[in-house]
Structure 1
Amino acid sequence: MPAPPAALRRGPFRPGAFRSPAHGPRTAVVLGRWLGAALLLCFATGLISHLLQDPPGWLAPHLPPRPVNGYRTTQGLHVIAGLAAVPLAGAKLWTVYPRLFEWPPARGVLHLLERLSIALLVAAVLLELFTGLLNTLQWYPWPFPFRQTHYWTAWTAVGALLVHLAVKAPVIAAHWRRAGAVPPSVPPPVPPPVPPSVPPSGRRAVLAATAAAVGAVTLTTAGQSVPWLRALDLFAPRRPGTGGLPVNRTAAQAGTTAVPADWRLAVDGPAGYLIGLGGLRGLPQTTADLPIACVEGWSADARWTGVRLSDLLRRAGIPAGSAVRITSLEAEGPYRVTEMPAPYADDPLTLLALDLDGRPLTPDHGFPARIVAPNRPGVLQTKWVARIEAV
C-alpha cells in the first residue's frame, strides 16, 4: 500500500510521533505480564466458582463441601483480580494505543489477522471487565443474561489472549528482562531508536502510577471478602460486618413477607412428612459457623443453628448418597428451586437453619427456615424453604 500524501502524515500519523519509552515495547511487556496474571487468575477462579454454582451433571456428585471457605476464597479472588485488572487494562491500552496510527494499517493478510485478533481480545476483555464491575453493584442495564454472557466471553478473551501471546512471543522474549539483566550468553535485544534527550523516566512513571492505582483499588475494595482488610473497605459495594449480615434479595422482593401461620415444611420421600416450626425446634439442634459468600464478591461469617439436613432426609426414608431438590416459598426467581448434590446433603455442617447468631431468622434472612451449606454459593443457600425432596 503506498504511503499517504505528506499532508496526511501529520500529528499522530507522522513518523516518530510517539518516541517516549512509556509507549515502548518494554513498558507494554511489563504491563502485559501484570494484566495477564490478573486475567488468568480471574479466569481460573471464575471457572471454579461457575462449576460450583452450575455444575454439569457428571460433576455434581463429586463436588466437595470442604474446605468450608472454598467458594468464599475463589469468588473473592475472582472479584479482586477483576477489579485490579481494570486499571491494568487501561494502562496497557494507553501504552499501545499509538499502534492505531501505524501505516499502512495492514501489511498483509497475516498482519491483518493479527490486528483483528487484538481487536477481539480488547473487546472481550473490556466487555468482561465492564459487565463484571456492574455485577458487583447488582446493576444489569443490558438485555442479555449476565452469567452466561460473562462465562462465554471469558473463554473468548482467554482464547484471544493465547493467540496474542503466540504472535507476540518474539517481542515478549526480547523485552522480558530489563536492559542489563540479559544473561551474558544471550545478546541483548536491540531497542527501537529513541532520541537521547528522552530518558526512560517516563516508563518508570507509568509503571509506578499503574502499580499505585492497582494497590489503591485492591486495598479499598478487597475488604468485602478479606476480613482483615475491612477497615479499608471504602469503595466496595458491600461492607459485611457493618449493620449485620448483608442480603441480596429481601423478603419484600421475593414476596415472602407474609409467611402463613400454619407453615409446615414438606419433606418428600418413602416416609415423607410435614413438620412445623415448633416440630423443627424440637429436633436435635446443631450450631455451625459458616460464611455466606455471594457471586458479587462479598462474604461474611455467621453462626447458624438448626437441624442437620441429613437428619431430615433420613427421617423421610431418603438414603445417604441422594441429591435433593429444595423449593422456596417465593413465587418466582431464578433460584426459587435449587438442587443440592449428595456430598452437600450428607455433610454434617449442612443445616436447615432456624437461628442466625443466636436469634430466630428474620424475614430477610429466610424465616421460617433456610438452607446453609459449606463451600456453596450464596444464591444456592435457599431461603424461605417450603419443600425438600429427593431428586
Structure 2
Amino acid sequence: MRFTPPQDPPITFKARLHDARTATVIGRVLGLAIVVCFTTGVLSHYLQHPSAWLADRLPSRPYWGYRLSQGLHVASGIAAIPLLLAKLWAVYPRLFAWPPVRSVRHALERLSVAVLVAAGIFELFTGLLNTFQWYPWPFNFVPVHYAVAWLLLGAMLLHIAVQWPHIRDHFTRRSPGTLALPAADGPDRRQLLAAVAAGVGAVTLTTAGQSVTALGPLDLFAPRSPAHGPQGPPVNRTAAAARVTEASLADWRLTVAGPRPYALTLEELRALPQHEVTLPIACVEGWSKSARWTGVRVRDLLERAGGGPGAHCRVVSLEAFGAYRVMELGRLYAQDPRTLLALRLNGEVLSLDHGHPARIIAPNRPGVLQTKWVGRLEVA
C-alpha cells in the first residue's frame, strides 16, 4: 500500500482589505515618500562627499537650503516607516501565494518585491537609528546606506513596471483589482486609510520639530532637541571626543598657507574687521538650529594670503582624528560673504565644544563640514 503523507491545509486569510486598491493607495504615498527621501539623501551625500569636478560648483545659496533638504530627508524617511508597515499588511497574503513562481513576469514581480521589501526595511530602520547616532552593525553606515538607496530605487521602479497594469486600472477605475471587496467595504477602507494617515501625521509632527522651529513644542520623540545645547545649538562631537583641550590650545595660531603665507594669533584675528551673520547649523541626523555667528570672512583671509577671486581652500582641524578633520571649502563657499571663520556664537566667545578658538560657518552646508578647532587654511 502506498503511503501518502498528510497535506497541510491551505493558508487562508480572513482579514479584510487585503485588496489591490488599498495596496495601491498606500503604495503611491509610500512611493512619493521614498522618492523625496532618496532625492534629498543623494543631495546630502554629494554635499558631504563632492567629487573633484563638483566641489567648486556646489552652491552656497540659498543659505537655508541644506536645512530644508535634510529636514525633508529625515521627515520623509520617518513618515515612510508606518506607510511601509501598512503596505506590507495590505499585500502580505500574496507573499504566501502558491505556486511561488508561475511565469517569467511573476518571477520578476516576486524578485522585485523581495528586494524592495528588504532594501526598504534596511534603509528606513538604519536611517532611523542614525538619527540617534546608534550604529549596532560592523559596516560603515554612510557608503552602505548610500549604495542600498540606489538598490531600493531600482527595485521600486522594477516593481512599478511589473505592477503597472494594476496601478493603471486603479487610476482609471476600469477594474477594482483582483482581490476587490464589495462596495459595502468602502467605509472600512476609508477608516483604514484614515488610521494610516493619522499614524503618519503623528510620527511626523512629533519628530519634525527638530528641524522646523514652529513645531518645536510638539517635538516629543525626536532624538535631539535643537533648543538645548551650550550657547544655543546642540553639539554632536565634543572637544573631549576630538581630543582637543585648553592646554593644547595654549600656543594656538591660525596658519594660512598660500602664495603669501602668514599666521595670526587669536588677538590678531579679533583685531581684524568682524562680521556677523545668522546661519543655521543643519546636521545630517535631521536637527537644525539658527544662531548668530561673528568672525572674519574667509575670503578676506584667503585674499591676504594671495588667493584671487576664484580661490578655494582646504580647512584643517586640530582634532586628533575623524573623517572630517580635513575639509574642502569650494570656491562658491569660500568666496561667499556669509562664510566666516567664526570666533563668537550668539554674542559669546566660542566654547571649547563649539570649536574654540575658531570654526568655520558657511551657508547651505552640512553640519559635519562646519569644521571646528580650525588650525590651518590652505589656499588652492
Once the 2 structures are TM-superposed, how far is the Cα of residue 143 of structure 1 from its aligned partner? 1.1
- Distance change in 2, residues 1:304/1:189 (3 Å): same
Once the 2 structures are TM-superposed, how far is the Cα of residue 77 of structure 1 from its aligned partner? 0.4
In structure 1, what is the equivalent of residue 81 of structure 2?
A: 86
- Is the CA contact 2:57–2:332 (under 8 Å) kept in the aligned structure 1? yes
* 1:209 equivalenced with 2:198 (yes/no): no
In structure 1, what is the equivalent of residue 133 of structure 2?
A: 138
Once the 2 structures are TM-superposed, how far is the Cα of residue 57 of structure 1 from its aligned partner? 1.5
- Distance change in 2, residues 1:190/1:145 (3 Å): closer
Question: What do residues 198-227 of structure 1 show as CA deviations (whole Å, max 9, x unaligned)?
Answer: 733332222111100000001000000011
Structure 2 SS opposite 1:355 = strand
Structure 2 SS opposite 1:327 = strand
Aligned counterparts of 1:197 and 1:298: Cα–Cα separation in 2:
45
In structure 2, what is the equivalent of residue 185 of structure 1?
A: none
Question: What is the total number of aligned residue pairs between the two structures?
Answer: 374
- Is the CA contact 1:287–1:306 (under 8 Å) kept in the aligned structure 2? yes
In structure 2, what is the equivalent of residue 250 of structure 1?
A: 238
- Distance change in 2, residues 1:262/1:176 (3 Å): same
- Is the CA contact 1:327–1:336 (under 8 Å) kept in the aligned structure 2? yes
Aligned counterparts of 1:79 and 1:137: Cα–Cα separation in 2:
12
Structure 1 SS opposite 2:324 = coil
1:98 to 89, 93, 117: 93
1:71 to 63, 66, 70: 66
Question: What do residues 277-327 of structure 1 show as CA deviations (whole Å, max 9, x unaligned)?
Answer: 000000000000010001001000000000000111111112221221111
Amino acid aligned to 1:160: A
In structure 1, what is the equivalent of residue 8 of structure 2?
A: 8
In structure 2, what is the equivalent of residue 175 of structure 1?
A: 170
- Distance change in 2, residues 1:169/1:338 (3 Å): same
Once the 2 structures are TM-superposed, how far is the Cα of residue 193 of structure 1 from its aligned partner? 6.5
* 1:322 equivalenced with 2:311 (yes/no): yes
- Is the CA contact 1:18–1:98 (under 8 Å) kept in the aligned structure 2? no
Aligned counterparts of 2:181 and 2:274: Cα–Cα separation in 1:
76
In structure 2, what is the equivalent of residue 266 of structure 1?
A: 255
Aligned counterparts of 2:275 and 2:181: Cα–Cα separation in 1:
73
Aligned counterparts of 1:45 and 1:278: Cα–Cα separation in 2:
41
Give matches, 1:356-371, under 5 Å.
356-371=345-360
Question: What do residues 27-61 of structure 1 show as CA deviations (whole Å, max 9, x unaligned)?
Answer: 00000011001000111111111121111222111
- Distance change in 2, residues 1:190/1:83 (3 Å): closer
- Is the CA contact 2:20–2:176 (under 8 Å) kept in the aligned structure 1? no
Once the 2 structures are TM-superposed, how far is the Cα of residue 5 of structure 1 from its aligned partner? 8.9
Give matches, 1:344-359, under 5 Å.
344-359=333-348
Identity %: 59
Amino acid aligned to 1:209: A
Once the 2 structures are TM-superposed, how far is the Cα of residue 190 of structure 1 from its aligned partner? 5.3
Aligned counterparts of 2:348 and 2:199: Cα–Cα separation in 1:
42
- Is the CA contact 1:26–1:176 (under 8 Å) kept in the aligned structure 2? no
In structure 1, what is the equivalent of residue 283 of structure 2?
A: 294
Once the 2 structures are TM-superposed, how far is the Cα of residue 270 of structure 1 from its aligned partner? 1.1
Once the 2 structures are TM-superposed, how far is the Cα of residue 238 of structure 1 from its aligned partner? 1.0
Aligned counterparts of 1:345 and 1:6: Cα–Cα separation in 2:
75
* 1:116 equivalenced with 2:111 (yes/no): yes
In structure 1, what is the equivalent of residue 32 of structure 2?
A: 37
Indicate the RMSD between aligned Cα atoms, in angstroms: 1.8
Once the 2 structures are TM-superposed, how far is the Cα of residue 242 of structure 1 from its aligned partner? 3.0
* 1:127 equivalenced with 2:122 (yes/no): yes
- Is the CA contact 1:291–1:300 (under 8 Å) kept in the aligned structure 2? yes
Segments of 5+ residues of structure 2 without an aligned counterpart are none
In structure 1, what is the equivalent of residue 223 of structure 2?
A: 237
Question: What do residues 175-212 of structure 1 show as CA deviations (whole Å, max 9, x unaligned)?
Answer: 236xxxx5xxxxx3155466769733332222111100
Once the 2 structures are TM-superposed, how far is the Cα of residue 350 of structure 1 from its aligned partner? 0.4
Aligned counterparts of 1:329 and 1:118: Cα–Cα separation in 2:
48
- Distance change in 2, residues 1:91/1:194 (3 Å): closer
Structure 2 SS opposite 1:199 = helix
Segments of 5+ residues of structure 1 without an aligned counterpart are 183-187
Aligned counterparts of 2:205 and 2:249: Cα–Cα separation in 1:
45
Aligned counterparts of 2:303 and 2:349: Cα–Cα separation in 1:
25
Structure 1 SS opposite 2:52 = coil
Question: What do residues 338-366 of structure 1 show as CA deviations (whole Å, max 9, x unaligned)?
Answer: 11101101111100000000000000000
